[in-house]
Structure 1
Amino acid sequence: MCGNVRIPYPFGIGSICSINKWYIIDCKSSTPYLSALNNLEVVDVDLENQTIIVNMQKLSACNQTTKSVDLASSPFLYSKSHNKFVVEGCANGVILGDHGSVLTGCSATCSNQTSTAVTIDTNNTCFGINCCETTIPHYLNSYSMNLTGLERLHGDRACGSAFLVDKNSYDEVWFSGKSFIPTSLLWTVTLVDYKKLDCCVKHAVDRRTVDLSNGTSVNTYKCWSDYKPLYGNPYLSNGCYGM
Structure 2
Amino acid sequence: MKMAVQFVMRIAILFLLTYELAEAAAAPMAKPDCNSTCGNLEIPYPFGIGPDCYMDKLFEVVCNGTGSSAKAFLTSIDKEVRQINIRYHLYSSDPTVQVQMPIIYSNNCRSSGSGAALNISGSPFNFSYYHNTFISVGCDNFATITGLGPVVFGCKSHCIKSNIVERTRCSGFNCCESSYFPSNQQEFHVQFRSIDESLAREEKACKYAFLVDHNWLESNKPDPSSVQYWETVPIVLEWAISNRTNHSRDMFESLKKRHDVRCSFSDEDEDFDSFTCDCAYGYQGNPYLPSGCQGK
TM-score for both structures, normalised by structure 1? 0.79
- Equivalents in 1 of 2:206, 2:165: separation in Å? 10
From 22, 36, 45, give the equivalent of 2:58: 22
AA partner of residue 232 (structure 1):
G
User: Of Structure 1 and Structure 2, which has the larger fraction of its residues in helix?
Assistant: 2
- Sort the Cα spacing of 1:127 and 1:11 in 2 relative to 1 into closer, same or farther, 3 A: same
Q: Post-superposition shift, 1:173?
A: 1.2
- Equivalents in 1 of 2:208, 2:130: separation in Å? 22
- Equivalents in 2 of 1:15, 1:149: separation in Å? 50
| Secondary structure of 1:195's aligned partner | helix
- Equivalents in 2 of 1:92, 1:103: separation in Å? 12
Q: Post-superposition shift, 1:152?
A: 11
AA partner of residue 221 (structure 1):
F
Unaligned residue ranges in structure 2 (runs of 5+) = 1-36, 88-93, 110-114
Q: Post-superposition shift, 1:143?
A: 1.6
2:26 paired residue number = none
| Secondary structure of 1:144's aligned partner | strand
From 234, 238, 245, give the equivalent of 1:182: 234
Count how many residue pairs are aligned between Structure 1 and Structure 2.
Answer: 230
C-alpha contact (below 8 Å) 2:145/2:152 kept by paired residues = yes
C-alpha contact (below 8 Å) 1:148/1:159 kept by paired residues = no
Matches within 5 A, 1:103-118: 103-112=152-161, 118=167
Q: Deviations over 1:192-225 (max 9, x none)?
A: 41533675754631223455xxxx5533212224
- Sort the Cα spacing of 1:235 and 1:163 in 2 relative to 1 into closer, same or farther, 3 A: same
2:86 paired residue number = 47
| Secondary structure of 1:173's aligned partner | coil
Matches within 5 A, 1:41-190: 41-48=80-87, 49-61=94-106, 66-69=116-119, 71-90=120-139, 91-97=141-147, 103-112=152-161, 118-120=167-169, 126-134=170-178, 135-148=180-193, 155=200, 156-170=203-217, 171-173=220-222, 176=226, 177-190=229-242
From 33, 41, 45, give the equivalent of 1:5: 41
| Secondary structure of 2:222's aligned partner | helix
Q: Post-superposition shift, 1:41?
A: 0.6
Q: Post-superposition shift, 1:20?
A: 0.4
Cα RMSD after superposing both structures: 3.0
Matches within 5 A, 1:196-207: 196=251, 201-202=259-260, 204-207=262-265
TM-score for both structures, normalised by structure 2? 0.67
